[in-house]
Amino acid sequence: MIDRLEAARALDDIENITRRVRQSQIYRLSSLLMILWGALVVLGNLVTYLTPIYADKAWLSVYVLGIAGSVVLGATEKARWGMGSFDVRSLLAFVMFFAFGFFVERIGHFGPREMGAFWPIYFMLFYCLAGLWFGIAFTIFGLSVIALTLIGYVFIGAAFPLWMAVVNGVGLILGGLWMRRS
Amino acid sequence: MAELDEIIHQPLRLRIMAALNALPAGTGLEFVRLKKLTGATDGNLGAHIETLARAGYVTVDKAFVGKKPQTTVTLAAPGRAAFVRHVAGLQEIIAGAAVKPSDP
């Protein structure tokens, strides 16, 4: 015979493992998105550093390719795992995210250096918030990139885009690979 | 009165079944992923997967990805049904009914 305590323990075990499986699916999709955005951010920063006159076009391309790639990855993972990973709401969330960012950028009259710091910090704010629901890994990663971005903004001179290519771009790629193993 | 499934009731097998049940039908988990999720050792996990496979609750596919062997475990339809019954049995116990594990 099995008593209530043992049954409750078994149900807790089931709930716990189900939550971990779902978390691992979220980590998996997030890791792919981070690697994609990381590679694009590296390219954006390199173009900004090497040929500043093309910086605007480069970043516009980064955003368009990033959103398109995110939609494709989300749809692929949804088909594979049956998880509600990307839909119209997610696309609208992206649009609102960038619209708010551009709004702040305009009313703040940000120069290239400020924009170079603002976007990663703004991006990472959502990683920090995501950590409250989906696992501490997101928050740790977000806070680390924010801290390194601020260090670069204050202490690194003309090579700031290169610093950001490493901190934000390579950071996203490494973070994605780490999250894949989590 | 719902019955508990003695095969599923073993703690590690319960965790394996719960992990597989969280996925859509036909989707499996790689052995290494399952090992990480359940916190089991290689030998222990392998033995319990074999027990579940013998009962027809899971299917095991072995393939090579590059040069590395990869084992994927998927919940079979009878396994999903048995798991649902088992969970219903556990919930009945919580609700107050006494339930005896069924023989394998």
Structural domain span for residue A44? 4-181
Q: What's the total number of domains in chain A?
A: 1
pLDDT of B104: 54
Q: How sure is the predictor about A14, in pLDDT bands with cuts at 50, 70 and 90? A: very high
List the single best residue of A9, A16, A20 to mutate versus B (max B Cβ within 10 A). Answer: A20
Cα nearest neighbour of A13 on chain B: B15
Which residue numbers of A have CB closer than 8 Å to B's CBs? 1-4, 7-8, 10-11, 13-14, 17-18, 20-22, 24, 80-82
Q: Check residue A83 and give its pLDDT.
A: 57
Q: How far is the alpha carbon of A67 from chain B, nearest alpha carbon, in Å?
A: 27
Segment A19-45 mean pLDDT: 89
Condensed to tens digits (0 to 9), the pLDDT of residues A120-136 reads 999 889 889 888 887 78
Are the Cβ atoms of B93 and A14 closer than 8 angstroms? no
Please report the pLDDT score of residue A22 as a whole number. 85
pLDDT at position A153 is 93
Average pLDDT, chain A: 86
Write a three-state SS string for A66-122. HHHHHHHHHHHHHHHHCCCCCCHHHHHHHHHHHHHHHHHHHHCCCCHHHHHHHHHHH
Residue B84, pLDDT score: 95
Least confidently predicted of A79-93, A99-113, B30-44: A79-93
Which member of A4, A13, A82 has the closest CB to residue B24? A82
What is the spatial distance between Cα A82 and Cα A56, in angstroms, rounded to a whole number?
Answer: 37
What per-residue confidence (pLDDT) applies to B75? 95
How close A80 gets to chain B, by Cα (Å)? 8
- Per-residue confidence (pLDDT) for residue A75, from 0 to 100: 81
Choose among B15, B33, B94: nearest Cβ to A13: B15
**What's the CA gap between A144 and A168, in Å, rounded?**
10
Q: Looking at the partner chain, which of B24, B37, B38 has a beta carbon nearest the beta carbon of A81?
A: B24
Considering only residues A143 and A91, tell me which one the structure prediction assigns the higher pLDDT.
Answer: A143
CATH topology for B4-102? Arc Repressor Mutant, subunit A (1.10.10)
Q: Measured between beta carbons, which residues in chain A are less than 8 angstroms from residue B2?
A: none
CA distances for B47 relative to A84, B41, B43, angstroms: 34, 10, 6
pLDDT of B102 over the 90 cut: no
Domain boundaries, chain B: 4-102
Q: Give yes or no for residue B96 having a pLDDT over 60.
A: yes
Q: What is the pLDDT of residue A71?
A: 84
Q: What is the pLDDT of residues B63-89, one digit of tens each?
A: 888 888 889 999 999 999 999 999 999
How far away is chain A from the Cα of B54, in angstroms, using its nearest Cα?
22
- Confidence band (pLDDT; 50, 70, 90) for B16? very high
Percent of chain A with pLDDT over 70: 93
Task: Map tokens 């903004």 to a residue.
Answer: A153
